[in-house]
Structure 1
């Protein structure tokens, strides 16, 4: 006998379809089939109350306040969806893995942890959960997820299910860059056109131009650069995710450089074997030191003075205040926030006064290298979670990424996960109002801006070295070389102490040699360039978008 939802469930389904679950790439009839499936699959879990946690961004706020309520009304499963800081999500996940105590029934954490997930043996892979057809949505369509490669191990097993994605890209005030008087002034000072910077040299010139020469636009003090420097875990993300890749620290290779990645870690197969130059790594090499030098120099000379006291969350809102000309490393997660008409950053027709474009390349960058980072917040389930609670949470996770709701969620949070949503007519209509976001996600570049990969065996343990040492350099307590060397040594100490269920992929450090030996070898670590500031180059916004199709 075919399942028939209760009257209250049917009413809820109709109400949500009419008010919230539109637009969708599915017809209304197919949406209804999906929602009926959820109502039926949830029948064994009516008395289950689940707790899940995620970081605090617009997409997850929408899930926690709207979609969790819809899920409860349609399925009868109550969800407490807790929002917190990203660092706190990772701490809670790590605590549950370490203690075996079930703190949450599901976590939305970055795929950056994939290196630990496939080595530790604590995560129940999505591939395994999907074998249970009774709780796996027939229309889940795994191949439609643009980030599924990011959540898969080297064994081809899918460990996490993508829930939202956003990249770091270059951001700038297109309206200011287009002003004839500013273009003439820049040309006279620097000898080339004010436009989207192709390299770090041009970015630096533009930063100097606005901060030192222009200073004021329409009565407002303006700056040519924005970043942050507070001693805070988020300072580590700024570097590991992935400042060094833009500088050109590692080797060519996607999703992460091979044999040396953007963390400066040398890999042999799935084994990390070095971080320091003495062992063949690159974290304390000339390219990495160059990257940190530029970071500190630009922060001191071209950003607002208060930027040094800010963290990720505080600094993220600053471009929306209307006094920043450009930002080299801007998270597209802020697209929704900067599209708020109240900020005054929209034209009369609803298009943005700002644009996003490819990240400029550092002096050590080579063709074929990773250029930037993409966050892939993904559902993770642990073996320590009781099966009935995990199954109920798996239903909730699928609901949040189902085709019934995913397009509307994408339009709200602007963190797309499905190819079908990106290619939809709705996204085509929105493209002129999103400053380049749709063009990025419709290009092959969406696979070349990659998260931390399997090369990092324990993101949580190793990432702590980034922010503390970078902060020392920013505060003048250590030189950039001293900070990067200390960071490399600390990471190698941690690597030696790590043990994993997957012993074949456990770290195994190479013996030390003279730095000169490795710096004279081809590839990373790279010897210092005589000229770390080559001639600045810019290109038009249209040409910059075309480069996403080429690089």
Structure 2
């Protein structure tokens, strides 16, 4: 964490003193009340509960500012969720706490490239990264990413929201490494679903033909080998249905460089095919 503090200090050096003084002077509970009333609705919390939480942010940020923390740099890829965070939530945080948030929005490939460079060089240009949870294996193997579970229970306990409910996040198993430590908090998610022609799978003639060749019932694949069998079966054995050429699989309808890791790291792991050890676990 000493290295991270140096990075924060370097970032602070570029802040215009007058601009910071303006935000610091206005930051506090009145600004929090404004955001709670105008933006942070609806909420599962009552407004009083929200304001209690806002007071924690105001008080804790004062401790950070007294240590010289005036600016936080964060980066994420270009997705509407992150654009909202960059334009709206960053502004809210700055107005409520007086700590300037610079949230850069760049392309997904650029995020990965900059993150990889930072991990290899040991010189991070950002205080926080919003990156794909599919990189959990990389974070774990490199050993340069601070596990959040360690930080929140140790050095960062004082700066961890006491109202934070980890169990309320969907997908924490996907951001937990083989060492059972939480490295990331899920921010936004894509829904992965297996789309198939149920009417084809229900045809008795195709069911019989598939089982005769592969020795098990035709159905939604539960592992990668079944996925390959079904693709091969419809592409090479069935070939045509109702006079139309059919294929066993189509994804996205276009080529995309992300498909490789989406298959190997994301979809296959959900089908129970994740490698629990070296080299990919």
Higher relative contact order (CA 8 A, sep 6+): 1
Structure 1 residues 206 and 139: alpha-carbon distance in aligned structure 2, compared to 1, 3 A threshold? farther
1:524-539 matched pairs, under 5 angstroms: none
Deviations 1:212-258 (CA, angstroms, capped at 9, x unpaired):
xxxxxxxxxxxx996223xxxxx231233127987xxx7xx75741x
Q: Does 1:116 align with 2:147?
A: no
Secondary structure of the equivalent of 1:80? strand
Q: Does 1:240 align with 2:261?
A: yes
**1:79 matched residue in structure 2:** 101
**1:9 matched residue in structure 2:** 28
Which of 235, 243, 254 is the aligned partner of 1:228?
A: 254
Structure with the largest fraction of strand: 1
Secondary structure of the equivalent of 1:134? helix
Structure 1 gaps, min length 5? 178-182, 212-223, 230-234, 262-266, 273-454, 457-551
Structure 1 residues 9 and 206: alpha-carbon distance in aligned structure 2, compared to 1, 3 A threshold? farther
Structure 1 residues 125 and 164: alpha-carbon distance in aligned structure 2, compared to 1, 3 A threshold? same
Distance in 2 between residues matched to 1:170 and 1:254, nearest whole Å = 11
Distance in 2 between residues matched to 1:162 and 1:66, nearest whole Å = 19
**How far off its partner does 1:25 sit?**
1.1
Deviations 1:461-489 (CA, angstroms, capped at 9, x unpaired):
xxxxxxxxxxxxxxxxxxxxxxxxxxxxx
Distance in 1 between residues matched to 2:254 and 2:78, nearest whole Å = 19
Which of 45, 48, 65 is the aligned partner of 1:26?
A: 45
State whether residues 29 and 58 of structure 2, in contact with CA within 8 Å, keep that contact through their aligned partners in structure 1: no
Distance in 2 between residues matched to 1:159 and 1:255, nearest whole Å = 22
**How far off its partner does 1:13 sit?**
1.2
Which of 55, 62, 67 is the aligned partner of 1:43?
A: 62
1:273-284 matched pairs, under 5 angstroms: none
Please, what TM-score do these two structures have when normalized by structure 1?
A: 0.35
Structure 2 gaps, min length 5? 1-23, 207-218, 221-229
**1:300 matched residue in structure 2:** none
Please, what TM-score do these two structures have when normalized by structure 2?
A: 0.67
Secondary structure of the equivalent of 1:81? strand
Structure 1 residues 7 and 55: alpha-carbon distance in aligned structure 2, compared to 1, 3 A threshold? closer
Secondary structure of the equivalent of 1:168? coil
Secondary structure of the equivalent of 1:150? helix
**2:162 matched residue in structure 1:** 138
**How far off its partner does 1:106 sit?**
0.8
Q: Does 1:93 align with 2:115?
A: yes
State whether residues 114 and 152 of structure 1, in contact with CA within 8 Å, keep that contact through their aligned partners in structure 2: yes
Equivalenced residue count is 219
**How far off its partner does 1:23 sit?**
1.0
State whether residues 96 and 103 of structure 1, in contact with CA within 8 Å, keep that contact through their aligned partners in structure 2: yes
**How far off its partner does 1:62 sit?**
0.4
| Root mean square deviation, CA, Å | 3.6
